[in-house]
Amino acid sequence: MEFQEKLLKVDQALSRDDTKALAFLCKDILKCDIRLVESPIDLFQRLEEKDVLSEDQPYLLADLLRVIEHFQLLRELDLNSTMSTTVNPITPYRKLLYELSKGIGQKELKMIKFLLNKDLQRSALELNVSTLEVFLEMERKDLLSSSHLDLLEQILEDVCPVLVKDIQQFNASQGKIAKETGLVDSRPRSSSDAPRPGKDQTDPTRYPMKAQQRGFCLIINNFDFSRSRGSQSNRIGTHIDTESLRHVFTWLGFKVEVLQDATRDQMLSSMRELASRDHSGMDCVACVVLSHGLKGGVYGVDGGVVQLEELTDLLNGVRCASLRGKPKLFFIQACQGNQREQAVPVQVNGPVDPEVHDQTDGTSRPRVNIQTDGSSSPGDLCSDASVAIESLPSMADFLISKSTPPSYVSLRDKKKGSWFIQSLCKNLVLLVPRDKDLVSILMELNEDVSQKSDSTNSMRQMPEFTSNLRKLVVFPVPEGPRPSLPTSLASWARFQLINLGPV
């Protein structure tokens, strides 16, 4: 059979969706808007003009049919055994995205579009837009490339986690190839990942981040409130937050220390000890408090209250000279009162928020997954009620990020950890490699948590942060692989047994 006749037979056998798939697979070869490809014949003519398809070079045709699994056509055209050992113009990246698209159903695609509704144009979010077309739009917006799969991986972790391993295997294989050949791609992963002109580590608008160790990160994890003089319940799910934080801040270069179940005096004593250390060889310091709270402070496990100012003031420039001029970062997962954020209707340009399977607490809801960290709550989604400081410290270089504004509760899922801490960890892992500064990351965190709700869509949460930083906090991109975060009590237990030992 003449080669042109074979191409005509393929043209007659393929559907419109097949044509789109072939054009997508050939996008890196064509280097044009593949929406202009009208038919298989049109595609083949463009490929012939690129000198990658001919009677003497049928390999690309055979590979295309093999990828889209048209094996009968391969047999009929006698191309089944046609395979080049030297030429493979379809990139592994294109094949990866095509394989991912086959594993994404309509339900998952709808959720993906929802998660991207602030990044893509509305036309790319319509019901008739396919997964491959969403991928193309992400590429146009510089949200996706062969060396920038972070956002897609993050989305699939939430929507279709079984596909995440395909991305991880692809990244591993690309790293292996680069190592074996010595051809490491030094190009920026994307324009958003590339260091901006003049924005290196000597940039006066950024805090220096040159130390061998980023700094100390103290995590105060208060779980067991059985000794409390009040009615606080044990904070089930907080261990998920602790391990997520441990992995992320270790990845960022911090020396992480966890203080478990601290009383009021122990919390203050640990902060005084932290302030007494020599931080001159460090870039910054971080402190995370996971506890019950009230307006103005957080609880120790004995029921004693520590005002937030008491914690921050211990690291000011007078009491800790080696931290002068360096960022002092505080993250507070605790309620700041007993009021509950309520959902309000907003006109949005995008699909409906997919249901979040969490419930509010209360005796009438026996299968609740949400609790607060104020007074005792019987549910699984809990609030971490605490107090907001009424004013920022007068000293410079402090940033305080809190899970909720003054007077409101903060929610924690017993099985998955708190909304605030889990979003913080995910956004750090996703956005630090894209050269985002910490304040920008916290704005993304605020947006992320504000979109969450319980299954009745009646409860919301709105984090806040206060800053008197003088420069941008931009963490250097870690050299090691991105950390895997525990996502449930079961995964936390596996982390304990395999990697960490008891907390």
Catalogue all structural domains in the chain, each as residue range(s) with its CATH number.
3-90 (1.10.533.10), 93-181 (1.10.533.10), 214-340+358-475+486-500 (3.40.50.1460)
Instruction: Please compute the mean of the pLDDT values over residues 361-370 and round it to a whole number.
Output: 39
Exactly one of 26, 284, 287, 335 is catalytic; which is it? 335
Decide the pairing of beta strands 213-221 and 282-290.
parallel
DSSP 408: B
Decide the pairing of beta strands 459-460 and 341-342.
antiparallel
Region at 436 (left for phi over 0; alpha for psi -120 to 50; beta for the rest) = beta
Residues 415, 369: contact at Cβ < 8 Å?
yes
Residues 401, 307: contact at Cβ < 8 Å?
no
Least confident of 40-54, 80-94, 311-325, 361-375: 361-375
- Residue 218 forms beta bridges with which residues? 257, 287
pLDDT of residue 284: 97
Q: How far apart are CA 435 and CA 146, in angstroms?
A: 18
Neighbours of 38 (CB within 10 A): 11
pLDDT band at 249 (very low <50, low <70, confident <90, very high): very high
Q: How far apart are CA 358 and CA 368, in angstroms?
A: 7
pLDDT band at 358 (very low <50, low <70, confident <90, very high): very low
Of 142, 154, 144, 150, give the one whose Cα is nearest residue 192.
Answer: 142
Residue 107 CA, chain-centre distance (Å), reads 21
Decide the pairing of beta strands 398-402 and 328-333.
parallel
Say whether 217 is catalytic: no
Compute CA distances 37 → 48, 49, 329, 491, whole Å.
Answer: 14, 14, 52, 46
**Is the whole-model pTM more than 0.75?**
no
**CA 427, 432, 436: angle at the middle one, nearest 5?**
95
223 or 459: which leads in pLDDT: 223
Residues 139, 120: contact at Cβ < 8 Å?
no
Say whether 284 is catalytic: no
DSSP 497: I
Digit-coded pLDDT (tens) for 265-322: 999 999 999 999 999 999 999 999 999 988 878 999 999 999 999 999 999 988 898 9
Digit-coded pLDDT (tens) for 129-177: 999 999 999 998 888 998 889 899 989 988 899 999 999 988 888 766 5
Query: What is the residue whose two structure tokens read 């400081």?
Result: 389
Least confident of 68-72, 277-281, 326-330: 68-72
Exactly one of 292, 320, 382, 425 is catalytic; which is it? 292
Neighbours of 144 (CB within 10 A): 20
